[in-house]
Amino acid sequence: MCPVPPGQAVTAKGRSSLRRLAGGLVKVAARDTPDAGQERRLGFHDGQMVVPDDFDALDAELIEQMFGGGR
């Protein structure tokens, strides 16, 4: 069993239940499905910005001086 942070416990089958936890009584409520506009989705900025091919090399000399080779 993996620990769940308080306030984030939900049931797998959409039913509410009461549980005893550390001497107290806890209600585990069913999680509602978010509306389509509220869903968090990956890639929502696809096609809206461009990352240069040499992104990892930008300011490489300055970063090297600041964190490693500038001594």
Q: Is 12 in contact with 6 (CB distance < 8 Å)? A: no
Domain span holding position 18 = 1-32
Count of the separate structural domains present in the chain: 1
State how far the Cα of 61 lies from the Cα of 69, in Å rounded to an integer.
Answer: 9
Secondary structure letter of residue 20 according to DSSP: E
Half-sphere exposure of 12 (CA within 13 A, CB side): 0
State how far the Cα of 29 lies from the Cα of 16, in Å rounded to an integer.
Answer: 4
Q: Is residue 45 part of a domain?
A: no
Q: Is residue 14 part of a domain?
A: yes
Q: Going residue by residue through the chain, which has 71 residues, state the pLDDT in tens, using 9 for 90 and above.
A: 566 665 555 555 566 677 777 778 877 766 665 555 666 677 878 888 888 899 888 998 898 888 886 55
Q: Is residue 6 part of a domain?
A: yes
Half-sphere exposure of 51 (CA within 13 A, CB side): 5
Q: Is residue 55 part of a domain?
A: no
Query: Which pLDDT belongs to residue 51?
Result: 86
Query: Which pLDDT belongs to residue 2?
Result: 60
